[in-house]
Structures are given as C-alpha cells and as structure tokens.
Structure 1
Amino acid sequence: MIRLEAPRKFDPLVNQAHQVAMNLLRPISRKYDLREHDYPVELDMLASMIDGLTSSGQGEGAGAAGVRRGGDDRDKDVNKNGSNMSSALSVMEMCWGDAGLMLTMPRQGLGNSAIASVATDEQLEKFRGAWAAMAITEPDTGSDTASIRTTATLDGDSYVINGQKIFVTCGDRADVVVVWATLDRALGRAAIKSFVVPKDSPGLTLIRLEKKLGVRVSDTAVLQFDDVRVPAENLLGSPEVNVEQGFAGVMATFDNTRPLVGAMSCGIARAALEYTRDLLAEQGIVVDYVKSPWSQHAAAATLLRLEADYEASYLLVLESAWMADNRRPNSLEASMAKAKAGTTVTETTQKCVELCTSLGYSETELLEKWARDSKIFDIFEGTQQIQQLIMARRLLGKTSSELR
C-alpha cells in the first residue's frame, strides 16, 4: 500500500537537490531568463556531479533520466520506492529553484526518460551518457500523437526518417534526439515507434529556435528530417507492429514522464506559495491553519485554497511515481497527476502575482518569471484536454476510437 509521504530514505537526495536549487539555480535564474538561448555553463559542473553520484550508486534518480521500470515479476506484498519516486522528488526540488534550468540539464532530458522507459538492456548500454532530446510534436498533429506523419522506412539494415518536428526541448544542445515516427501510416497508431537519432546525422537540420513565454533558458527547436538514416538497432524496444496493442510501447514513455512533469509543476507552485506566504506575513496577514478560511483575511483564504490544490497535486504525483516503481499500470494516475498539477501551477502562480500586486508583476522578483514559466507545464506532454480524454477512456473502459 502506498504511504502518502515522501520516503525517508530519499531525504539526503532531496536535501541535496534543494541545496543545489537554492545555491546554484536560483541565483542564475533571472540571468539566463534574460539571455534566452545562452547555454548556462554552470550546469556542466552540476551534471558531472550527478553523473559521478549515479555511477557510484549514490544518486539513483538524481534527475529525469532515472525512470527505468523493473522486470516483469511483481510482489504486491512488498512496497518499493525506487527511481521513479526519487526522480520525482529531486526534480520537484530542482524546479523550486528554476524549471528552465532543470529542463536543460545535460543528460537529464525527457528523451533520456524515453530511452529508460522502452529501451532494451543493450540499447541502454549503447546510449549511456548521451544527452537525449525528445521529438514528438509536429506542425499538423499538436497533441494528437496518434496522427504522427513523420515516417521511418526500413532500407536494408537502416531506417530512413522523413518529416518535421517542432517544440523539441533541448533539440539544439542534445547529443541525440528520440524521434517518434510511423513505420506504416495505413496501420495507424500501432506502427508508431521511437528512434534514437544522432544529432550529427546527415539530413537532420535545425530550422530555428523558438522564442517563448517562459522557460526561456531551455532551447526549443524545430528540426527537419530529410532522408536521415539511422541503424535499425536504434529503434527503441521491439520493431514488431502489434495492431491489438496499439502504440502502448511508446506511450509507456508518458506513464513515466507525466509524473515528472507533475513534479516540476509542484516545485514551481511551492516556490510561489512560499514567497507569497512570507510576503503576506510581512504585511501582518498570517495564515491560520486552524481557523476556517471564511473567518480569515481574503488573501489568507485564497492561499489556503491554493495550498490545498498543491497538496492534492503533490500526492497524485507520489502515487503515480510509486505505481511505476511497483510496476503497476499507472496510465490513469499519471494523467491525473499531470492534469491536476498543470492546472494547479498555472492558477497558483497567477493568483500569487495578483496577491503580491506590484511585487508580483515586476522583474525585481522571481514570481513574475514563475508565472510565465508555469504555463508550459499545462501544455507539453499532453494538454489539459488530452489528459481529460485519457482519464475518461480509462475510467469508462473506452478505446480511442470509441471516445474521441
């Protein structure tokens, strides 16, 4: 049974992540927000430290890459708290420092999570140490990943990839790109697979870097694939097309990454709540957790409601991560965590800006930046509408063709 509190064995990791967030990420947060697309060289030292901890076995789940599921055997009587849980907790702390810097951490990208989710053991070893971006979204598909048009055609011992991908996080800086493509459009979603494409592959072109509302330090690229050849063994997981299974293999990536996105949202929301609570206290408005919200100052009542939403998001993230660690199907819970946390962080940061008035709206404080950063977490990895659709299908037992 899940225990609704952070496992104590992860306290050292969480404390270490918090110290990094407070002493490294927060101080350079505004600097790189204003210098969009500049690479934060300060992260190289941090990435090296995480690599060292991971290789020594002391830093399991120290970043977004640590989301590999276990084997097929499951023991329901044993409660496991592994890399999914530790990754969620550490990512939460890092995003309390700065979400954009977290997203641009070398070798901790969403593409690394994709590799960890569906790669074979041989592929894990082959791509160990690579910094992986993830390329899913296309100009004409949006959040409908089943409508992907990028193609991968088998030619001898290679696949030839053609198409365009947009909103590729770290698409310029990463070493490799995990590209979602279809083996056969006629077979629908079942033929969609993910491929690891080296950035220096002939035919892979960086079209442009997007200028964005928030998380500006994280480069977001548009990539063009023109007859890009990759070895057949770079197809992650099994090349078999199973029409009955659909594209469950690549969708398993989302079951691991959506809790992480929820954790990122929780980190930003907590930062905004703490700042606002302290500012209100300076003005003599202290939140009383014993009294009814309706008997307190309106600002305090608002903060209480926002904190309740944060706690709900936090617990949903822990539940979905715990289920992944214990090898239990968590597609519904991962979508719930991502949807709730995405809504919560956008509303929380907007309300906190409102409560803090001029201080919240000014670049003199980070609250303004958190309000801009937060919106992406309600969009990427599946919009709010997509998450609601997934949850409805799971709860009602409907297929994607039955419930659109």
Structure 2
Amino acid sequence: MINLETPKKFRMLVDQAHQVARQIFRPNSRRYDRAEHLYPRELDMLGALLDGMNAGGGGGEGAGAAGVRRSAARSDEGNRNSSNLSTVLGTMELCWGDVGFLLTMPRQGLGNSAIASVATDEQLERFKGKWAAMAITEPGCGSDSAAIRTTARLDGDHYVLNGEKIYVTAGDRADLVVVWATLDRNLGRAAIKSFVVEKGTPGFDLVRLEHKLGIRASDTAAFVLNDVRVPRENLLGDPEINVDKGFAGVMQTFDNTRPLVAAMAVGLARACLEETRKLLEQAGIELDDDAPAFAQHAAASECRRLESEYEAARLLTLQAAWMADNRKPNSLQASMAKAKAGRSCVEIALRCVELAGPLGYAEGEGGHGLLEKWARDAKILDIFEGTQQIQQLIVARRLLGKTSAELK
C-alpha cells in the first residue's frame, strides 16, 4: 500500500535537490531566460546529482533516467519505493527552482527514460552515461503519434531513416536522440518503432533551434534525416511488427515520462503558491487553514482553492510513480496525473500573477519577480508528452474499456 510521506531513504536526496534549486537554479533563472540558447554551464557539475537520484531506490534501472521495466515483476516483493518515485520527488524540488534548468540537465532527457523503459540489458550498458533526447513530433504529426511519417527501412545490418523531426527537447545538447519511425506506413501503429541515433551520424542534421514562450534555458531543436544509417541493434524493443499488439512497446515510454512532466508541473505550481502566500501575508491578508472559505478574505480563499488543486495533482503524480516502481500497470494513472497537473499548473500560475497584480506581472530576479516567468513556463507542461485533450481521451478509453478506433 502506498505511503504518502516521503520515504526516509529519499529525504536526503530531496533535500539536496531543494538546495540545488534554491542556490543555483532560481538565482540564475532570469539570466538564462533572457539569454535563450545559452547553455547553463553551472549544470555540468550537477549531472551526477540526478544520476544519484535515479539510482536512489537501488533500482539502477536506466541509462541516466528512471524507467518503467516490469519484466522482472514478482508478487512477493511487497511495497517498493524505487527510482521512479525518487526521480519524481527530486523533479518536484528542482522545478520549484526552474523547469528549463531541469529540462537541460545532462543525461536526464526524455530519451533516457525511453531507453530505460524498453532497452535490453546490452543496450542499457552501451548507452550508459549518454544524454538522450526524444524525437516524436513532426510537421504533420503532433498529438497523434500514430501518424508518424518518418520511415525506417532495413538494409542489411542497418536501418535507413528518412524524415523530419521538430520540437526535440535538448536535441542540440544531447549525445543521442531516440527517433520514432515507421517500418511500414500501410500497417499503421503496429509498425511504429523507436531507434537510438547518435549525434554526428551522417545525414542526421540539425536545422534550427526554436524561440519559445518559456523554458528558455532548455534548447528545442528541429532535425532532418536523410538516409541516416542506424545499426539494427539500436532499435529499442521488439523488431517484429505485431498488428495485434499495436505500438504498445514504444508507448510504454509515456507511462514513465508523463509522471515526470506532472512532477515538473507540481514543482512549478508550488513555487507560485509559496510566493503568492508571502505577498498576501505582507499585505496583511491571513490564510487560515482552519477557517471556512466564506469567512476569509477573497484572495485568501482563492489561494486556498489553488492549494487544493496543487495537492490533488501532487498525490496523483506520486501514485503513478509508485505504481511504476511496484510493477503495476499505470497508463491510466500516468495520464490522470499529467492531465491534472498540467491543467492545474497553468491555472495556478496565471491566478497567482493575477493575485499579485503588478508585482506578479513585472520582471524581477527572485521571489515574486519570477511569477511572470513561471506563468510562461507553465503552459508547455500542459502540452508536451501529450496535450490536455489527449490525456482526457486516454483516460476515457481506459475507464470505458474502448480502443482508440472506438473512441476518437
């Protein structure tokens, strides 16, 4: 049974993450927001910290990030708090400091989670210590991952990839990119596979870096693939096309990454709420946890409502991560956490700017001066790894027992 308190063995890691967020992430947050595409060199010495967090539960199950690996499931293990929960807890603390910094931490890319989730033991060892981004989105394919047009053709000992990928988080800085491609467009979802492409491979060309509303400390890249030859042993998961199974193998990645994005949203929301509470208290508005909402100042009542939204998102996120650690199917819970946290984070950030008034709208270096930045950062957390609408659709399918063909 899940225990909602932070496990004792993770408390030191959580405290370390908070200190990093407080002493490094937040003080430098505004600088790299203004200097988009400038790599935060302060992060080089911190890469090992998150490596330690991911292995903090003793799982050591990934090439740099936690993964949902259920092949070793046992019924007698009891309650297990491992790498997924520790990574989620650390992510919450770090994103209390700055989401963009977290997204550009070395060896913590979404591609690392993909590798950790579905790679073989040989692949885990081969890609160990590498920073991996993930490339799914295409100019004609956004939320519907099954509409991918990038192709992969087997040619001897290599797959030949052709296509275009956009909005690749940390694509310029990563060592590897996990590219989703189809082996046969006529077979739909079942033919979608993921391939690990090493940077510098001929034909794999970076064409531009995007300018963004938020998370500016993190680079977002676009790539073109022209006859990119990838060793066949770089394919993640089963190379066979199983029409009955669909592309469940590559989609398993999302069971891990969606709780991580939810954790990012939870951390950012907490930062907004803490700063807003300070401003209200400085203005003489008391937030009484015991008094009913109608008996408090309107601003205090609204702040308490936002805190309840935050708490619901936090608990859903912890549940999804705990289920992954305990080898339980968590696709429903991962989507619920992502949907709730993404939506709540955006609402909380915007409402906190409103409650703070001019202090929340203006730029500043710390504290409430970052509220406007956090409001810009928040929106991406409701979009990437599956939009709000996609998460609600997945939840509906799971609850109603419908397939993607039956409920669109």
TM-score for both structures, normalised by structure 2:
0.96
Alpha-carbon distance, 1:71 to partner: 3.4
CA gap 1:112/1:327 in 2 versus in 1, 3 angstroms: same
1:279 has 2:279 as partner: yes
Question: What is the correspondence of 1:67-146 to structure 2 with a 5 Å cutoff?
Answer: 67-75=67-75, 78-146=78-146
Amino acid at match of 2:278: D
Amino acid at match of 1:232: R
The CA deviation at 1:72 is: 3.3
Aligned to 1:245: 245
Q: In the alignment, what sits opposite 1:201?
A: 201
Task: List gaps (5 residues or longer) in structure 1.
Answer: none
Q: Distance in 2 between matches of 1:373 and 1:173?
A: 20
Quote the Cα distance in structure 1 between the aligned partners of 2:284 and 2:56: 49
**Secondary structure in 2 aligned to 1:287?**
coil
Is the contact between residue 57 and residue 82 of structure 2 (CA under 8 Å) also seen in structure 1?
no
Task: Describe the SS at the equivalent of 1:201.
Answer: coil
What is the SS of the residue equivalent to 1:333? helix
- Between the aligned partners of 1:236 and 1:60, the Cα distance in structure 2 is 19
Residue 69 of structure 1: how far off its partner (Å): 2.4
Is the Cα–Cα contact under 8 Å of residues 54 and 64 in structure 2 kept in the other structure?
Answer: no
Question: Are the aligned partners of 1:63 and 1:91 in contact in 2 as well (CA < 8 Å)?
Answer: no
CA displacement at 1:58 relative to structure 2: 8.1
| CA distance 1:293–1:63, change in 2 (3 Å) | farther
Contact kept, 8 Å, 1:63 with 1:90, in 2: the verdict is: no
Distance of aligned partners of 1:392 and 1:55 in 2 relative to their CA distance in 1, 3 Å threshold: closer
Equivalent residues of 2:10, 2:56 under 8 A apart: no
Distance in 2 between residues matched to 1:183 and 1:131, nearest whole Å = 25
Between stretches 46-55 and 136-145, larger displacement belongs to 46-55
Rate the CA distance shift 1:358–1:330 in 2: closer, same or farther, 3 A: same
In the alignment, what sits opposite 1:28?
28
Q: Which residue of 2 aligns with 1:354?
A: 354
Closer/same/farther in 2, CA of residues 301 and 139 from structure 1, 3 Å limit? same
> Which deviations, in whole Å up to 9, do the C-alpha atoms of 1:35-81 show, x marking residues without a partner?
00000111001114545787899896999712352533322671111
Residue 263 (structure 1) aligned with residue 285 (structure 2): no
The Cα shift of 1:92 comes to: 0.6
Partners of 2:158 and 2:24 in 1: how far apart?
43
Aligned to 1:299: 299
Contact kept? 1:183, 1:192, Cα under 8 Å? yes
Give 1:237 deviation, angstroms.
Answer: 1.4
Is the contact between residue 176 and residue 196 of structure 1 (CA under 8 Å) also seen in structure 2?
A: yes
2:160–2:229 contact (8 Å) kept in structure 1: yes
CA separation in 2, counterparts of 1:319 and 1:48? 26
Taking only aligned residues, the RMSD between alpha carbons, in angstroms, comes to 1.8
* Pairing of 1:354-393 with structure 2 (within 5 A): 354-364=354-364, 365-393=369-397
Please say if residues 50 and 59 of structure 1, whose CA atoms lie closer than 8 Å, have aligned partners that are also in contact: no
Partner Cα separation in structure 2 for residue 85 and residue 153 of structure 1:
38
Deviation at 1:126, TM superposition (A): 0.6
1:254 is aligned to 254
Q: Is the 8 A contact 1:61 1:87 kept in 2?
A: no
CA 1:61/1:327 → structure 2, altered by over 3 Å: closer, same or farther? Answer: closer
Counterparts in 2 of 1:153 and 1:59: CA distance versus 1, 3 Å: closer
Q: Is the 8 A contact 2:64 2:130 kept in 1?
A: no
One-letter amino acid of the counterpart of residue 171, structure 2: G
Aligned residues of 2:51 and 2:65 also touching (Cα < 8 A): no
Listed one character per residue, the Cα deviations across residues 117-175 of structure 1 (whole Å, up to 9, x for unaligned) are: 11011100010011101000011111100111100000000000000011000111111
**1:176 corresponds to which letter in structure 2?**
L
Query: Which shows bigger deviation, 5-14 or 373-382?
Result: 5-14
Query: How far off is 1:240 after superposition?
Result: 1.4
Work out whether 1:320 is the aligned partner of 2:320.
yes
Aligned-residue offset at 1:178: 0.3
Change (3 A) 1:8 1:76: same
In the alignment, the residues of structure 1 paired with residue 179 and residue 324 of structure 2 have an alpha-carbon distance, to the nearest angstrom, of: 23
Q: Say whether the 8 Å CA contact 2:57–2:86 is kept in structure 1.
A: no
Structure 1 264/61 Cα, relative in aligned 2: closer, same or farther at 3 Å? farther
TM-score norm. by structure 1 comes to 0.97
Question: Judging changes above 3 Å, is the alpha-carbon distance between structure 1 residues 192 and 139 closer, same or farther for their aligned structure 2 residues?
Answer: same
The aligned amino acid for 2:247 is: F
The verdict on how the C-alpha distance between 1:109 and 1:297 changes in structure 2, with shifts beyond 3 A counting, is same
Quick one: distance in 2 between partners of 1:366 and 1:69? 38
Relative to structure 2, which stretch is displaced further, 39-48 or 52-61? 52-61
The secondary structure found in structure 2 opposite 1:162 is: strand
Identity value in percent = 66
Residue 403 (str. 1) matches residue 407 (str. 2):
yes
The gaps in structure 2 that reach 5 residues or longer are: none
Deviations along 1:299-335, one digit per CA (max 9) or x if unpaired, are 0011011000000000000000011001111100000
Q: CA deviation at 1:7?
A: 1.9
- The Cα of 1:266 is off from its aligned counterpart by 0.2
- Shift of the 392–76 alpha-carbon distance from structure 1 to 2, 3 Å rule, reads farther
Q: Give the whole-Å Cα distance in 2 for the aligned partners of 1:356 and 1:204.
A: 46
The C-alpha deviation readout for 1:237-293, integer Å capped at 9, x for no partner, is 111111111100000000000000000000000000000001100111111011111
